[in-house]
Each structure stands twice: as C-alpha cells, then as structure tokens.
C-alpha cells in the first residue's frame, strides 16, 4: 500500500534570488533544494564534532545512515529527543534527483506491446478530466512532482491530515477526504522573538525559505544549526540559536493511540516548545504561530473567509486562540490555532493580516514588545480573491540557565463531508464525541492541550518494549513506527454509520455486522496518495497486520464492509483498459478490488480500478479467507467467525472454477490475473498456488470450528490433492517455479510465493497437514537470501 511521497508545489522564489548559506554565517539564507528520493530511515546519528567531508574516501553517501546529520554544526541535541528514529539536519541536501514515472517514460518496446491499453487510457483520461471534470484515480499525464520534504503528519485517524515537512513547512493537506493538495503555505510558520532588558535582540522565522511574500519578515534560518527527528506519531525539531545561548525543541504530538477508538480519531496536533536558556542573563521568549485561512488556492478564491479570537475555560484550564472560518462548499471547516494559558505565560493574537503582503505590520507588532496587539472582535469576511491569515503568540520569562514551556495546538473541524460525487452526507468519527454542528474547534483545542501529556505516556508505554529490545536493529525500530503514518495519512476516513444505511437484505445473516459498524464506524484508506482507491484488498492483505494488532475493531469493521461488498453485484458493463473487454463492474460472491474512489461515492460504487476485470483474479478471494481466519485467531471473536463463514464458503465456491483439471490446485489464466497486474502468469503458479493451499488449509480449520464435518472433509481432500500437484508441477529440485509456462520467467524465483505459508504461520498453523511443504520452503527462503 506504500507510495512515493509526492512533492511540494514550490515557493515562488526566483533562482536568481537564492543565496548559498555559509556555515560560518548562521544568518544567511539557505535555499531549499531537496531532491526526490524515497524515505530513508536513519538511526545512528553522526556526532556534530565529526565534520569529515562527505566526499572523503571511505565515507558513505549522504543518503546513508548518519550522513543525513553530517551537515549539522550545532552542539545541542535537544530536550528529551529519543535515540531512535529518523534524523536529518535541516541543511541537508539530497544528491539523488528523481522524477515521477509518467506516460513518456514507457519504453518503446512496452509502448508497442501495450498500444491498445495506452489508447484506451488516453480516451478514458480525457473523458474523466475534460468531460466529467474529475481527477483520475491514477493520472499518468499530470503526476505530482517528487520531492523529499515530508515529515510526520498531524491529525488522528480519519479526520484529515496536515503534513509538516522536516524543514518546518506545512506542505501537504488532506482535509477533503482522500484528496491531497501539495502546497507549501508560506504564512504557516513559527517565529521566535528573544528580548533582553526590554529590547528585542533576536527575531527569526524558523524557516529556511526566502519567499516573495511577507518580505518584511526575517527569513533564511541557517539549517546547519537545526535538525529534525521523527518517531511517529511524534516528531522533534531542535534549533540552536547561534550567538544567543538558547536552544528550542519543538515536539509535535498526534493522538495515534493503539486500542483507542476515541482520541485516535481527533483532527488535532500539539506543538510543545521547550526553551532552554544556557546563558547567564534572563530573557523574555516569545513563539508566534501564524496560519493562513485556507491554502491560498482556488478554494479560497470565492472569498467569505473570516477569523475571530476565542477563549475557552473549562476544568480550571484556559485555552486562547483564533478560529479561522473557511465556509467554502462542499466541505466547510473551521481551523483553530490555540495556546494554553498558564501562570507563567501570556497569550496574545492578531486576528487578521494579509498573507500576500510584505507582513510589516505583524513583524513590527511582535518586534516592539514580543507580543501581539490582540484586537477584539471578528474580522471582516474577505472579498473575492483576497487572502487572510492570523497569528497566536505565547510569551514567557526565562531565567538564567532556566527552561520554560510554551504549548500550542492546531485543530480543524470538518464534521460533515461529501465525497466527490456530492451524493451522500457522511459524518466523521470524532463527531460522536464533539458534535456535528461545526463548532467543535475550541473544544478540540482545549481537549488536546489538556490531554497531550496522557497521550505521550500511552505512546511511550506502547513503543518502549520495542525501543528497549536490544535484539532488534535500530533501523527496524525506526521503520516500524514511522511507516505507520499511512494509517492516518493514507487519505484515511473514519465515518459514523447509520443503521438505516446498511442493506438489510445482504446483512441479515451477519448478526454482528450492525453492532460492529454502529459502535466502531467505517474505516477506509487509500492504496496510495496518488493511486486513489479505498481499501484495495490485495494490498490490504499485507498492511492489515497494523490494524488487527493495534486497532482490531477497525479491521473487523473493514472485513464486515468487504463481506457486504462481496455479496453485492453491479452488472453495469464497462471497458477494461488492459484487455479492452466489456465486462460487469462487480460480480456477486467475489471479493471486490476496492471500495471505490474518494472523488466518486465509495462504498456505494465499488471497484474504481478498471485496468483488469478483477473478478477473474486468482488471489483476492483467497486473501479474504486467510484474513478472516487470521483476524479470528488474533481476536478470538467467535461471533465474527460465524458471520464470515458463509461468505468464505461463497468466495471459495467462486474460486473452485479456476481448478480446471480438478487436481486440487488452481491455474492462472495466461495474463496478469493477480495483484502483480503487469506480470503474466500461466497455469499453476507458486504465488497463487501457495495462497490457494493456505486458504484451503484454513477452510479445514474453520469448518471444524463451525461444526461442518462434511465441508471439513471436502476441503481436507482438496488440500491433500493440491499439495501433491503443487510439488509435482512446480518444484524443480531447488525451488518452486514462478509458474508452469514455457516462458523464461517461469524459472524465476518470486519471494511472495511464501505469502501463503507466512499467513499460516501468523495463524498458528503451517505445520503438519496444514504446511505448504515447510522443508522445501526453507530451501526456497535460502534461495531468496532469507534466514
């Protein structure tokens, strides 16, 4: 389900205005010239004293472990920054430049081979973009530029996400469900102001940008004295302010909490600034958090945007901030920038300023006394084409050798959503706890600022057993948590479900379908941010372990949705791009490829994927059966197993037709009829055959649990015959062949042919009668280079 991170849309800085940043001059601007490489997990950070040149003989490439910190010139390592995670100096420059794969990258040989598909795709793309005015679920013509700039996203599961890049920029937005906007919003910044003896001695935007707007602000932070560290769902940015004896540590917190079905759904993020004064003089410190209302694009153009200050006191805690109202249809929302008021802090604000101006008024306001003017009342709604931003500032006194803490939150309230078809109205999960009226932003801000310490305790309790395990490599610890970002930032939605919205005729035999969806909602995530299909089931097969182990009720909810979709049919005929064949969208009793496109009406219209007719795919049905048993095995939920058992019988009956010679082993059809949709597979194959045998093995187990002796005997017979055929037709004396064709690739080794045995092992099976020949599997793993 992973995808290359798409890129930033740029800042509009002419190349002629970009200045190189000399390491000895921390006040000179450092341009952002990041390339587009895939994420690299870094765990062993280079010592700042080790200034070995990057091109020195024997030194690894900048992308290698430790080299991401090679540019760091500071000494500070921040306040309570953990040792494990992904760490990078803000001045780091990636040497590898990448471009997204587009239609013009197809080789001539493949272009000739797939000319029919290419012409059909162009026809479909034109109709989708020019006639229907929709965004294609896969766009080979207008790919998003690749830039390696992204960091941990903000926001819980299913309420939308905002990604803050590792250089501090707010650069990727998924507020409308499943639809991404890649735009760095220049006004969205943190700014620090230091004052000594009543005079401002240092004021700096904590950004390496040098934009063409807000030019009165002091841009161009030198990245050689700052670094970013990610261990999702938290991230740290450490700024050593040269010449000031001050270190800032910004800790970003998102409520991603295993086995929590309330706080994990909240559209909030918290920024905790720990400020350390390493000097002998007292000073006043202020952090200003500025935020544009909207992204500055077409959604803002109609005007009518307005801001207002708010103050919420509850339970002895006070939160102050700004509400940024964005009423643009179809999905209006309110953003809240807020700060916690304590005995040691002062919170001020500016309600409105022009983010496309020079920004002089705001800058001078902060420069004058380290605070903002805090005007009362709401702003005037914007005119068409005019932008608006606001800012919140927290100030505190800092004793010599002292420390203080400044706390901000960012919340967004978009309770009611429409997908692209603008058909059905949906409500997000968090509205169960904060209401559906669109006025929850102050309460969300207050709740986040008062609960984040508890969230961090729970995050630490969850992560510590892994981080403290010395038998695990450092890269694994980092990857295990950081790659979980996609559960929230995969275009994810978590929706409330009304019982009257469920098809009674399909779900009447699943007694616990309604209670599960009613209590835990409906969950969906995309195959990729640029490959927009919800709950793509062939790849969910691999990603589902994160859900079943951390939020098992969401996995069961997804499975109930998939079972409902399996029993449905849509006989509307359409042309499939690869073959050109006309066939139905969805046939009954086969697992759908996906639940739909967010730019359409997911859950109502299935199978956004139209490259192949997946009703003939050989692996989807099998993956459902395996996941059902795996989910039962890990949860012990017998009601779930009983509800799924008839659906498993139905899909296995549909699968039987692929065993054309009745030898107990299915055959592939001589085209790409499985998840590897560019790989032709013919006859019995190691991948699909292994999945088939594993699915048959778990059907034997489920039949025994459900008291179906005749079905148990039937599948036991199929399993024994299938195992014999698998060995006879695919084992070549050293490993299992890819397939049974006469093509050269038939003798290749495919690592995913171990998937069936892997799932059996995860289900406590895979030995004795249920194994897929473990002795030879061990030989196969050795061939693949696995231990």
Nearest Cα neighbor of 405 from 79, 145, 702 is 79
Instruction: Give the whole-angstrom CA distance, residue 655 versus residue 650.
Output: 9
Q: What is the DSSP letter of 145?
A: P
Q: What is the 3-state secondary structure of 251-291?
A: EEECCCCCCCCCHHHCCEEEEEEEEEECCCCCEEEEEEEEE
Integer Cα distance of 662 and 647 in angstroms: 23
User: Do 231 and 463 touch, CB atoms closer than 8 A?
Assistant: yes
Q: For the segment 537-552, what is each residue's pLDDT rounded down to a tens digit? A: 999 999 999 999 999 9
Question: 294: phi > 0 → left, psi -120 to 50 → alpha, else beta; which?
Answer: left
What the block records as the tokens of 202 is 């240092």
Q: Using one digit for the tens of pLDDT, what is the confidence trace for 580-639?
A: 999 999 999 999 999 999 999 999 999 999 999 999 999 999 999 999 999 999 999 999
Question: Residue 26 has what DSSP assignment?
Answer: T
Between CA 522 and CA 429 the distance in angstroms is: 8
Q: What is the pLDDT of residue 298?
A: 86
In contact, 159 and 415? CB cutoff 8 Å: no
Q: What are phi and psi of 129, to 5 degrees?
A: -85, -40
Distance CA 350, CA 374 (A): 5
Token pair for residue 646? 């008839």
Count the residues in the chain: 787
The secondary element (H helix, E strand) that includes residue 709 is helix 709-730
Region of residue 528 (left: phi > 0; alpha: psi -120 to 50; beta: else): beta
Tokens representing 191 are 């700014």
**E-only strand ranges, 568-653:** 570-575, 582-586
Helix, strand, coil tally for the chain in percent (to 5): 30, 20, 45
Cα(375)–Cα(373) distance, integer angstroms: 6
Q: What is the mean pLDDT of each run of 10 residues along the chain (787 residues)?
A: 34 30 37 32 34 35 64 95 97 86 79 90 95 93 90 98 97 97 97 97 97 97 97 98 96 98 98 97 97 93 96 97 97 98 98 97 98 97 96 97 97 98 96 98 98 98 97 96 97 92 77 94 96 97 97 98 96 96 97 98 97 97 98 97 97 97 97 94 97 97 97 97 96 94 92 94 83 59 57
Q: Do 164 and 8 form a contact (C-beta atoms < 8 A)?
A: no
Closest by CA position to 263, among listed 446, 410, 430: 430
């Amino acid at each position: 389900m992973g995808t290359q991170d798409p890129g930033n849309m740029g800042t509009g800085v002419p190349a002629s205005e970009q200045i190189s940043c000399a390491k000895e001059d921390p006040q000179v601007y450092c341009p952002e010239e990041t390339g587009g490489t895939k994420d690299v997990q870094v765990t062993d950070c280079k010592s700042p004293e080790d200034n070995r040149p990057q091109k020195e003989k024997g030194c690894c490439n900048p992308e290698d472990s430790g080299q991401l910190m090679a540019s760091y010139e500071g000494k500070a390592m921040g306040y309570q920054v953990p040792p494990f995670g992904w760490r990078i100096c803000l001045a780091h420059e990636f040497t590898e430049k990448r471009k997204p794969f587009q239609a013009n990258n197809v080789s001539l040989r493949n272009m000739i081979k797939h000319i029919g598909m290419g012409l059909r795709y162009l026809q479909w793309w034109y109709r989708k973009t020019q006639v229907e005015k929709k965004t294609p679920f896969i766009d080979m013509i207008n790919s998003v530029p690749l830039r390696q700039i992204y960091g941990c996203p903000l926001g819980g599961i299913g309420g939308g996400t905002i990604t803050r890049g590792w250089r501090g920029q707010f650069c990727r937005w998924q507020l409308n469900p499943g639809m991404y906007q890649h735009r760095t919003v220049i006004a969205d910044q943190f700014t620090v102001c230091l004052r000594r003896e009543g005079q401002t001695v240092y004021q700096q935007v904590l950004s390496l940008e040098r934009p063409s707007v807000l030019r009165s602000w002091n841009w161009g932070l030198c990245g050689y004295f700052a670094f970013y560290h990610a261990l999702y769902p938290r991230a740290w940015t450490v700024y050593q302010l040269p010449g000031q004896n001050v270190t800032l540590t910004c800790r970003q917190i998102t409520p991603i909490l295993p086995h929590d079905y309330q706080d994990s759904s909240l559209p909030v993020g918290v920024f905790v600034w720990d400020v350390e004064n390493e000097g002998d003089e007292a000073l006043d410190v202020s952090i200003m958090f500025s935020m544009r209302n909207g992204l500055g694009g077409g959604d803002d153009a109609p005007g009518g945007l307005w801001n207002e200050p708010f103050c919420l006191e509850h339970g002895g805690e006070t939160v102050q901030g700004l509400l940024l109202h964005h009423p643009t249809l179809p999905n209006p929302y309110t953003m809240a920038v807020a700060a916690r008021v304590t005995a040691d802090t002062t919170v001020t604000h500016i309600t409105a300023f022009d983010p496309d101006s020079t920004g002089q008024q705001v800058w001078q306001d902060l420069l004058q006394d380290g605070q903002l003017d805090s005007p009362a009342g709401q702003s005037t709604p914007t005119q068409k084409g005019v932008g608006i931003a606001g800012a919140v500032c927290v100030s505190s006194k800092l004793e010599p050798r002292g420390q203080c803490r400044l706390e901000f939150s960012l919340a967004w309230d978009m309770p009611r959503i429409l997908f692209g078809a603008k058909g059905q109205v949906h409500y997000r999960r968090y509205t169960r706890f904060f209401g559906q009226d669109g006025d929850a932003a102050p309460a969300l801000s207050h709740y986040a600022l008062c609960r984040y310490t508890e969230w961090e305790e729970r995050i630490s309790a969850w992560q510590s057993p892994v981080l403290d395990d010395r038998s695990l490599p450092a890269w694994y610890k980092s990857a295990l948590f950081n790659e979980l970002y996609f559960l929230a930032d995969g275009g994810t939605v978590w929706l409330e479900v009304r019982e009257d919205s469920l098809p009674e005729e399909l779900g009447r035999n699943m007694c616990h379908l309604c209670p599960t969806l009613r209590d835990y909602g409906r969950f969906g995530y995309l195959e990729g941010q640029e490959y927009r299909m919800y709950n793509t089931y062939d790849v969910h097969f691999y990603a589902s372990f994160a859900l079943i182990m951390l939020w098992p009720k969401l996995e069961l909810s997804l499975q109930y949705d998939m079972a409902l979709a399996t029993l449905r049919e849509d006989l509307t005929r359409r042309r499939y791009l690869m073959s050109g064949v006309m066939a139905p969208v969805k046939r009954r009793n086969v697992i759908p490829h996906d639940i739909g496109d967010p730019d359409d009406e997911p859950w109502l219209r299935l199978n956004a994927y139209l490259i192949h007719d997946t009703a003939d795919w050989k692996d989807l049905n099998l993956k459902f059966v395996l996941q059902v048993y795996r989910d039962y095995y890990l949860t012990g939920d017998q009601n779930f197993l009983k509800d799924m058992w008839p659906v498993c019988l139905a899909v296995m009956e549909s699968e039987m037709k692929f065993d054309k010679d009745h030898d107990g082993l299915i055959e592939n059809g001589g085209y790409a009829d499985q998840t590897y949709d560019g790989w032709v597979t013919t006859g019995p194959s190691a991948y699909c055959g292994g999945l088939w045998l594993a699915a048959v093995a778990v059907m034997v187990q489920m039949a025994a649990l459900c008291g179906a002796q005749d079905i148990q005997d039937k599948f036991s017979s199929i399993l024994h015959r299938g195992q014999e055929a698998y060995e006879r037709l695919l084992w070549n004396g050293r490993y299992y062949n890819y397939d049974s064709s006469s093509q050269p690739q038939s003798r290749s080794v495919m690592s995913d042919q171990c998937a069936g045995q892997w799932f059996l092992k995860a289900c406590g099976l895979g030995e004795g009668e249920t194994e897929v020949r473990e002795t030879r599997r061990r030989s196969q793993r050795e061939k693949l280079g696995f231990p």
